[in-house]
Every structure is written in structure tokens, then in C-alpha cells.
Amino acid sequence: MIEVAFEILEDCSGISMASGSDANPPRRKAMRLADCPPVGGVLDQARRLVAEGFSVIPIAGKIPAVAWKGYQSRRATDSELVRWFGESGSEIGIVTGELSGVTVIDCDSQEARELAYGDLGIWSNLVQATTRGVHLVFKHDGERNTVRLGGVAGLDRRGEGGYVRCTQPERWTRQAVERCRTIAETTSQKC
């Protein structure tokens, strides 16, 4: 297995990983880096998310790095993903709404989490940690974006016309979303 990894690295980087006394081992024809399969990272995560049926966009912090409205009705092509995530340093954003099939309740403060979990009774099978709080993920049921749910700053709904930063892409699978309920199924209050 290690030898195979070294061969891939040699082919992809042009650097010999050979050990021993042979200073000039025989070289195979060098491959271009673009010919090498991705070995992990943001590009692979973005490709997997698109394959799972999510619409993704590149973001810098919380701001889209591209004009993103078109990705509410179509998923990015592989060439777009390569351009956006190949070496740009962009993070992944998931477009919420019908195409991705998700609505997200964004809780950016302790007060927001307490209101969501307590007074509103909102809970989800799919929770993503964020810098300031959590994202509660639900099956999309026609919801649009709403800020300050219940009048609370930092408690927002991201539905049709929205996006969220994907801080934990490994949690986002179609199977995980299918286990989620809609917001209406979770709580009797309209969010």
C-alpha cells in the first residue's frame, strides 16, 4: 500500500520517493497534476456533496465568492468545482431550498439556541456546529429566508433563496437529510 502511495506521489509530483543507494532510479513518464486523482480536501468534499444532490457554491467567510443565484436552479459543473475549490482556498457553501432539498435554522447565539430548542421546540436529526452556534437542518418544505425568527437576533431561517457555510461537510449526506423531518413536522409553531 505504501509503495502504491509513493508511486502516485512520484507520478503526480515528479519527485522521486525512492530510497536506497540508487541515486537515479528509472523514471516513468511524468503525469500532469491535473491527471492525478484528488487525494482529499475541499474539492473532493464539494464533488461528493454535488453527487449527493446538494447545490454548492464557493464562499469566503460567509460571503459568496461568485454570483450564486443561478445555483438555486442548477448544480455546479465539475469544471466549476475545480475552478472554485481546486486551489482557491474557498470554503463550501450549501445553497438551501428546493434544489438541495434543505432548509436550515441558523442559531448564532445562546439565546437563539434556547429559543429554537425550548420555546419553539425545533430539533433536527442533522446538526452542524458553526463558529457561533449551530445549524439545524430540515427537509425543505417551501420555506423562504427569514431573519430574526421570534424577534431574536441570530435566529434565522435559510430556505429558498439562501445558503449556509458548510463547516462539517462529512455530516451532509442525502441519507442524513432523508432522516430529517420538515420544520412543520418538528414543531407545531410556524417558523
pLDDT at 31: 35
Task: Judge if 34 and 110 occupy the same domain.
Answer: no
Taking CB atoms within 8 Å and a gap of at least 24, the contacts of 143-148 are 143/103, 143/183, 143/191, 146/191
Residue 4 has pLDDT above 50, yes or no: no
Task: Judge if 109 and 181 occupy the same domain.
Answer: yes
**Following DSSP, what letter does each residue of the chain receive, concatenated?**
-HHHHHHHHHHHH------SS-SS---PPPPPGGGSPP-SSHHHHHHHHHHTT-EEEEEETTEESS--GGGGTSPPPHHHHHHHHSSS-PEEEEE-BTTTTEEEEEE-SHHHHHIIIIIS----SEEEE-SSSEEEEEE--S-B-BSSGGG-TTEEEE-BT-EEE-S-GGG--HHHHHTS--HHHH-SS--
pLDDT at 115: 87
Q: Model pTM?
A: 0.76
pLDDT at 81: 97
Residue 2's domain spans which residues? 1-20+30-38
Tell whether 112 is covered by a domain: yes
Torsions phi, psi of 15, nearest 5?
-100, 130
pLDDT at 188: 54
Tally of domains in the chain: 2
Q: List pLDDT tens digits, range 129-172.
A: 998 999 999 999 999 999 998 788 899 999 999 999 999 999 99
pLDDT at 13: 37
Task: Judge if 106 and 182 occupy the same domain.
Answer: yes
Q: List pLDDT tens digits, range 85-143.
A: 998 889 999 999 999 999 999 999 888 998 888 888 888 989 999 989 999 999 999 99
For the segment 50-77, the average pLDDT, to the nearest whole number, is 96
